[in-house]
């Protein structure tokens, strides 16, 4: 399922009780993990739907320098359906990234530092999202899931590590130091 391109949802499907319940269930699953995003293929459904939320409480143990470097700030809960990245900046940012579908691992992944996404919200209303920093990374990661891609497809393979080793050797270090010339 994770390697398939998910199918688009119709307006009727989006507004159905089934999809509305799925959104609530996915929000609970994402928070329980905890994670900042969850795509329908990650819960076994080949649908172009993802939920996103970067809660303030997730940021409390991250230094202000790291928050600034990652341009990370809270993102309110929302749903993206049938998303398309319509604009992407040329500027790249590289940070460690993980995934609920590959629990226990992390790697440095280059991503565009800014994107513009066109999608539908949970009511089926068109929406355009302009995002930079960590929020742009989350959007790209979740949209990758909807297109059958995983972060391991984009990572610098020599930086792939267990979370135990990341916590032991790389946590809190600037990316060039954490990578140790392994990119």
Give the other-Cβ count within 10 Å of 37's Cβ.
Answer: 24
142 is known as an active-site residue: yes
pLDDT per residue as tens digits for the range 82-125: 999 999 999 999 999 999 999 999 999 999 999 999 999 999 99
Res 181 pLDDT > 70: no
Fold of 11-179: Peptide Deformylase (3.90.45)
Selected catalytic residue, list 53, 94, 122, 142: 142
Residue 147 pLDDT grade (very low, low, confident, very high; cuts 50, 70, 90): very high
Q: Strand 75-88 relative to strand 49-54: parallel, antiparallel, unpaired?
A: antiparallel
Determine the 3-state secondary structure of 120 from DSSP.
strand
Q: Which of 31, 50, 47 is nearest to 141 (CA)?
A: 50
Burial 142-162 (b: 16+ CB within 10 A, else e): bbbbbeebebeebbeeebbbe
């Amino acid at each position: 399922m994770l390697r398939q391109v998910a199918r688009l949802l119709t307006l009727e499907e989006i507004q159905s009780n089934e999809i509305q319940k799925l959104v609530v269930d996915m929000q609970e699953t994402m928070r329980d993990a905890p994670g900042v995003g969850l795509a329908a293929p990650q819960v076994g459904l080949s649908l172009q739907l993802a939920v996103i939320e970067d809660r303030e409480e997730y940021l409390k143990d991250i230094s202000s320098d790291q928050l600034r470097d990652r341009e990370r700030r809270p993102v309110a809960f929302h749903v993206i359906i049938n998303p398309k990245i319509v604009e992407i900046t040329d500027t790249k940012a590289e940070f460690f990234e993980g995934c609920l579908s590959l629990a226990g691992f992390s790697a440095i992944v280059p991503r565009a530092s800014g994107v513009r996404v066109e999608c539908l919200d949970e009511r089926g209303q068109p929406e355009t999202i302009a995002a930079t920093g960590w929020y742009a990374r989350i959007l790209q990661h979740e949209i990758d899931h909807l297109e059958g891609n995983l972060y391991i497809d984009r990572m610098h393979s020599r930086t792939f590590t267990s979370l135990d080793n990341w916590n032991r050797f790389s946590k809190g270090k600037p990316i060039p130091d954490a990578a140790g010339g392994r990119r």
